[in-house]
Amino acid sequence: MSVRVRRIYDPPEPDDGLRVLVDRLWPRGLAKDAAHVDEWPKGLTPSTELRRWFHAGEGSFEEFRRRYEAELAAPEAAELLDGLGESARKGPVTLLTASRTPEQSHASVLAQLLEG
């Protein structure tokens, strides 16, 4: 299974496979046709409340991870996560985020869950 995380602002690469935007909001300054996004499952993104809590610096990344994983256990998110896992078993999947630090973002949590 090949799942990787990249910034949406980086140019697409031939080995990206399925390109999935995992941010709730569309990235600023990026035209939709330039992004080369195949899927945008907003139901997999952190809730607005959780996103605001984390970006306000109120808690650690580990606490964010715990809360986000709890959100992903909800039926709709779990179904989307299963579907994305199925796609990852068939070929490469690239999770795209606008985060400046993808390794400390929800995208890295998703990648770890998918790689299992």
36: alpha, beta or left, given left = phi > 0 and alpha = psi -120 to 50?
left
Residues 77-95 have a mean pLDDT of 96
Does 104 have pLDDT greater than 80? yes
Does 112 have pLDDT greater than 90? yes
Q: What is the CA radius of gyration of the chain?
A: 13
Does 1 have pLDDT greater than 90? no
Instruction: Name the pLDDT band for 55 (thresholds 50, 70, 90).
Output: confident
Residues 30-44 have a mean pLDDT of 93
Instruction: Name the pLDDT band for 43 (thresholds 50, 70, 90).
Output: very high
Angle between helices 75-90 and 61-72 (to 10 degrees): 100
Strand order in the sheet with 93-97: 3-7, 93-97, 18-21
CB 104 within 8 A of CB 61: yes
Does 49 have pLDDT greater than 80? yes
Ordered by start, the domain boundaries in the chain are 3-115
CB 3 within 8 A of CB 91: no
Does 116 have pLDDT greater than 90? no
Instruction: Name the pLDDT band for 99 (thresholds 50, 70, 90).
Output: very high
State the virtual CA torsion across 103, 92, 78, 105 in degrees, nearest 10.
10
Burial 45-71 (b: 16+ CB within 10 A, else e): bbeeebbebbeeeeeeeeebbebbeeb
